[in-house]
């Protein structure tokens, strides 16, 4: 990878590290203070809500300096987390205010993902996209493993205040790294001067980007199924704190997720020559089976964590595939808004999943919700096999869908 990709990767890793820690800290704080299954699910839903707003960033990402966007996004997120830490240390941290500040911080954070995805495509050759995406995912998932594994210990021994304060510093430092050291070429839209007002230009770019995304029929058909997976999976993830006896146990579940995902990102790079209509349904059904087995072996010490991690191998593969499919099929000049639109689409119902998880967990049991989550992956596999268009996708990952080229 070239120097600019390395700088981008370092920034992605540190941001992911900070996000993981303060999110785990927030969820555990809610559980400790309220011990409410519903409020735990609500907190997770609020945390996912900013994803649905990513489509609003699209025109800005394609039209303005991506370096400055990353700078302001990191600084803004860091400042909001800093306020949380100050309120915590002064015993003035009111739960509704905490959730509002977390939402605002994550709203800034969400601007970084489509921006970085657009930069990756511009800084690497198409034939290397799967590899570069895998390297990025591998690197920050490795750090996720560390943060998830030690989060419970750090919360117990250092306290929530330390987590918030240290992560605010880390995020502000990442913003400064991007501002002073990240050098990226301008996009065509950045170089084209506009005589229109910001609002008028934004509206035009927004409509143009929407039309481009709408033409990607095959890609959207796949994403419909992935949205279903996301809803089911988030229902289950919201229940992990409920079935955890301690913060360390919760950390083990998160570690299993991270380990499985990182293995999946490594495998994805070796599977990109296999037809999509074989890789995607097979990995999905394996994930579903492993997920269900893990929930039926909760009394067997380490066994459930092993199977849960195995379930996330398929999730890691699918995430790399979806990421690369978007990069391959969208025009370069619309990558920013395309990623923003599609990320919003993918995450649009995730808050609902967390919310439903909290409600169903309250009305029935956390275990039942987790079993339904595993069944969601099996349902996606069936959807892929039975769909008349998807079951004919025998092209490789790095080849665009020819039927979408008009």
Give the pLDDT of residue 405.
41
Cβ atoms of 374 and 291 within 8 Å: the answer is: yes
CA dist 174 and 108 (Å) reads 13
Q: Domain spans of the chain?
A: 3-182+196-404
Give the pLDDT of residue 55.
74
Q: Which long-range contacts (CB under 8 A, 24 or more apart) does 201-207 make?
A: 201/59, 201/63, 202/59, 202/60, 202/63, 205/58, 205/59, 205/62, 205/63, 205/337, 206/58, 206/59, 206/337
Nearest residue to 318 via CA among 406, 384, 252, 246:
384
Count of residues making up the chain: 406
Strand spans (E) along 265-347: none
Weakly modelled stretches of the chain, pLDDT under 70: 1, 125-127, 129-130, 137-153, 187-197, 348, 399, 402-406
Give the pLDDT of residue 187.
66
CA dist 182 and 204 (Å) reads 29
Cβ atoms of 130 and 270 within 8 Å: the answer is: no
Nearest residue to 312 via CA among 376, 375, 260:
260
Give the pLDDT of residue 140.
61
Hey, what CATH class is 3-182+196-404 in?
mainly alpha
In order of 80, 90, 188, 278, 329, the CA distances from 170 in angstroms are 13, 21, 33, 42, 35
CA dist 228 and 234 (Å) reads 10
CA dist 321 and 283 (Å) reads 11
Identify the burial level of 303 via C-beta atoms within 10 angstroms of its C-beta, where 0-12 means exposed, 13-18 middle and 19 or more buried. Answer: middle
Give the pLDDT of residue 79.
94
């Amino acid at each position: 990878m070239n120097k600019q990709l390395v700088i981008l990767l370092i920034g992605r890793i540190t941001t992911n590290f900070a996000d993981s820690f303060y999110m785990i800290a927030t969820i555990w704080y809610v559980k400790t203070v309220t011990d409410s299954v519903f409020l735990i699910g609500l907190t997770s839903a609020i945390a996912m809500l900013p994803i649905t707003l990513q489509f609003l960033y699209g025109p800005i990402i394609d039209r303005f300096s991506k370096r400055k966007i990353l700078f302001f996004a990191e600084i803004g997120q860091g400042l909001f987390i800093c306020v949380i830490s100050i309120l915590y240390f002064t015993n003035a941290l009111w739960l509704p205010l905490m959730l509002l500040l977390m939402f605002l911080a994550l709203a800034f954070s969400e601007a970084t993902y489509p921006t970085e995805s657009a930069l990756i495509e511009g800084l690497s050759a198409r034939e290397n996209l799967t590899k570069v995406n895998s390297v990025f995912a591998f690197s920050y998932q490795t750090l996720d493993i560390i943060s998830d594994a030690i989060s419970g210990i750090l919360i117990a021994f250092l306290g929530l205040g330390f987590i918030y304060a240290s992560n605010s510093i880390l995020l502000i430092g990442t913003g400064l790294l991007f501002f002073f050291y990240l050098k990226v070429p301008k996009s065509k839209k950045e170089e084209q001067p506009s005589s229109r007002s910001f609002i008028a230009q934004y509206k035009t770019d927004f409509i143009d980007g929407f039309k481009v995304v709408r033409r990607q029929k095959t890609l959207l058909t796949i994403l419909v199924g992935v949205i279903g997976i996301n809803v089911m999976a988030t229902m289950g993830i919201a229940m992990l704190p409920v079935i955890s006896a301690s913060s360390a146990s919760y950390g083990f579940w998160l570690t299993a997720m991270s380990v499985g995902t990182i293995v999946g990102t490594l495998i994805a790079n070796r599977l990109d020559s296999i037809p999509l209509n074989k890789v995607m349904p097979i990995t999905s059904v394996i994930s579903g089976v492993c997920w269900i087995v893990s929930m039926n072996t909760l009394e067997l010490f380490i066994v459930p964590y092993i199977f849960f991690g195995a379930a996330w191998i398929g999730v890691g593969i699918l995430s790399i595939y979806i990421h690369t499919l978007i990069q391959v099929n969208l025009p370069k000049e619309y990558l920013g808004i395309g990623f923003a639109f599609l990320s919003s689409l993918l995450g649009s119902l995730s808050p609902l999943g967390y919310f439903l998880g909290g409600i169903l967990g309250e009305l029935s049991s956390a275990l039942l919700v987790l079993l339904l989550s595993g069944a969601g992956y099996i349902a996606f596999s069936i959807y892929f096999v039975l769909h008349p268009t998807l079951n004919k996708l025998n092209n490789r990952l790095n080849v665009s869908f020819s039927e979408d080229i008009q």
